[in-house]
Structure 1
């Protein structure tokens, strides 16, 4: 038995069917293959099939796709009774978001003669947008219904595409690995949503808002997948050749340095010197976030290691000291600590990108300046002004994220979307059929039924 307020029997099917039917219609009207995907267009020209962009981009797409569906999904399985919700809802909102992102990004970047032309690169970009939504999902994890998550994703994808267009096209900023467009936007959008959805009595579910031994092991699966594939994530859409090679290498060394500083700070901040799995699962990834903007720039391996080293320190300190302050003083209940993994490292990455851009010279970049900073290479702007563009882009992103999250948060507060009550947050059995053999969940299911019975009696 499920309480009428949280019963998804009609709410979820109606939402999914309506969204998918609309998506199918829009794809039918607006979307077509690009010249590298269309049979007639591709064979018009005399070239080798192996020159098709598929063979250059698809390996990176596969890596990014694994990060989205396995990495993010399993990273959030640390909650002891919300494994189904973490992986399952991650799957649901990612599948919807990548379709909607294809349309939204296409409106701004891929329209030709009234049609959105798509290929392997648009698949990567759609996954990037989806990644931002999943970051926000981490902030509200366990406290929202699947319908709320789908509605949040729909609005966030739209705002993401607008913000991305302003940064990359209007302002001319560079952000290959998405420190600003993906991580900063997703984190602060999610933080604002969870602030609006603040639950003063969430302590009633406090006993579920924790991990057990095996749930932390599952979460480490997500961490390792993300850690391994992050060089592909940051380099997936950079220019072929030295740019892509350099981005992957900068990310590789930033992550390695970040991991060591994470272990060091985790032990240092514990009174008994023991390591905290929360820090290892999350802060060890901050180096990938922080090097995202400057990854394709001539940051040097040395510079990348410094960025990663600092990101690990900042992230651990955030988990240890800042998160409790945000919850107590600002009433921000950040379930996964996205502010520490994506928010602060994302801002750090944006600042590093602005500084690195402002000191770019032809002596360092040579003819490669045309790939990384085309406006500087053409003489349209000075390198110092490119740095200013980067800084302005950070401010714009924060504005879009905070205002957008505020508005969407109030929309999600509508009771029709079936949010769980304060006493049943972080609990799978309210939305999922849980196997009878799972005794821990059996006890929780009994608690759910008892609470519902009390409501009916009252």
Structure 2
């Protein structure tokens, strides 16, 4: 009984301690950016700014909200495909994302926007924090049903830290272009999740293999997540691009790639099924591959037909991966 009592208090105490530490760190280091500070009215009055519409908020906030929906609704519901993991998928995703964005604001701030002893936070920082948490959500997908919420919080603490360092090396030191985070977000998150899964592997996990399937309603809820992700992915890939043609181009390229990916994934899913049926796993996941793959080059001159080719190839590769590679991995 004592052991159960101790276990019961671990999560509440951890959450409260982490939040208290974050409050202290925010109080010491975090301040509003010039665009969010009350001195904005003085900046406007000095003649350097012609209108409130020049505030960064009006350029970035719509994209921020789209990305925010992807993190909390899109990824949250996408994970509900397991028949007995619906509450945990949405709830744990909510928990780790809420903690992750706070820690990401600090970690990314120390590395990217630390001046005169302070981190200056604006709407673009919020988008980048969501990007960081997106990587955590990707890793969470490899750990469904294998970890407790306490373990997820610890994983998030380490992953956000490593993500921020990796992002700083790639984007700031090596000057790599990665508008949609194909490398920094999705690739890093995928391999981090696989690594944690390998570390936490237990021989008796095969006993719950039958629970790793879906039922009708769980697939339906997961499809809701897919649709939210699919609709908002152009915003995800263009959210932090430079204003003007680069941002416009990133949205168009992602839009085209996603559309082509859907048709290809549906075609392959049906062709590879013995009875010509569609597999919901393919429809839920392979249809998003076009948005992931085009992310790095989203703001480049791919041309619309080039984006369609990217989506076409990704639909093929992703569906084949689900059909053949997943089976091979189960055999390891």
For 2:74 and 2:42, locate their aligned partners in 1 and report how far apart those are by CA, in whole Å: 38
User: Helix, strand or coil for the counterpart of 2:145?
Assistant: coil
1:199 to 194, 202, 212: 202
Higher deviation after alignment, 42-51 or 123-132? 42-51
For 1:261 and 1:42, locate their aligned partners in 2 and report how far apart those are by CA, in whole Å: 52
Q: CA deviation at 1:199?
A: 2.4
Counterpart of 2:235 in structure 1 is 232
Q: Deviations over 1:32-61 (max 9, x none)?
A: 001000011452233211111101100000
Q: Deviations over 1:357-387 (max 9, x none)?
A: xxxxxxxxxxxxxxxxxxxxxxxxxxxxxxx
Counterpart of 1:153 in structure 2 is 156
- Unmatched runs of 5 consecutive residues or more in structure 1: 330-458
The CA RMSD over aligned residues, in Å, is 1.4
For 2:41 and 2:281, locate their aligned partners in 1 and report how far apart those are by CA, in whole Å: 49
Q: CA deviation at 1:298?
A: 0.4
Counterpart of 1:273 in structure 2 is 276
Q: CA deviation at 1:8?
A: 4.6
Counterpart of 2:257 in structure 1 is 254
User: Helix, strand or coil for the counterpart of 1:32?
Assistant: strand
Counterpart of 2:17 in structure 1 is 18
Q: Deviations over 1:394-436 (max 9, x none)?
A: xxxxxxxxxxxxxxxxxxxxxxxxxxxxxxxxxxxxxxxxxxx
CA contact (8 A) 1:36 1:42 kept: no
Q: CA deviation at 1:4?
A: 4.5
CA contact (8 A) 1:67 1:229 kept: yes
CA contact (8 A) 1:250 1:301 kept: yes
Counterpart of 1:101 in structure 2 is 104
Q: CA deviation at 1:212?
A: 0.5
User: Helix, strand or coil for the counterpart of 2:82?
Assistant: coil
Q: Count residues in correspondence.
A: 328
For 2:239 and 2:124, locate their aligned partners in 1 and report how far apart those are by CA, in whole Å: 9
User: Do the aligned partners of residues 265 and 26 (structure 1) sit closer, same or farther apart at CA in structure 2, a change above 3 Å counting?
Assistant: same
Q: Deviations over 1:203-235 (max 9, x none)?
A: 221222111101100000000000000000000
Counterpart of 1:302 in structure 2 is 305
1:319 and 2:316 equivalent?
no
Counterpart of 1:52 in structure 2 is 55
Counterpart of 1:130 in structure 2 is 133
Bigger relative CO (Cα 8 Å, ≥ 6 apart): 1
Higher deviation after alignment, 194-203 or 140-149? 194-203
Counterpart of 1:43 in structure 2 is 42
Counterpart of 2:174 in structure 1 is 171
Within-5 A mapping of 1:262-411:
262-329=265-332
Q: CA deviation at 1:184?
A: 0.3
Counterpart of 1:33 in structure 2 is 32
Counterpart of 1:67 in structure 2 is 70
Q: Deviations over 1:319-377 (max 9, x none)?
A: 11101212322xxxxxxxxxxxxxxxxxxxxxxxxxxxxxxxxxxxxxxxxxxxxxxxx
User: Helix, strand or coil for the counterpart of 2:212?
Assistant: coil
Q: Deviations over 1:8-37 (max 9, x none)?
A: 520101110111001000000000001000
Off by >2 Å, runs of 4+ in structure 1:
2-8, 41-47
Q: Deviations over 1:148-196 (max 9, x none)?
A: 0000000000000000000001101000000000000000010111011
1:210 and 2:209 equivalent?
no
Higher Rg of the two aligned structures: 1
Normalised TM-score (structure 1): 0.70
For 1:166 and 1:258, locate their aligned partners in 2 and report how far apart those are by CA, in whole Å: 31
Q: Deviations over 1:109-147 (max 9, x none)?
A: 011111000000000000000000010000001110000
Q: Deviations over 1:55-84 (max 9, x none)?
A: 110000000000000000000001111100
For 1:277 and 1:3, locate their aligned partners in 2 and report how far apart those are by CA, in whole Å: 45
Q: CA deviation at 1:269?
A: 1.2
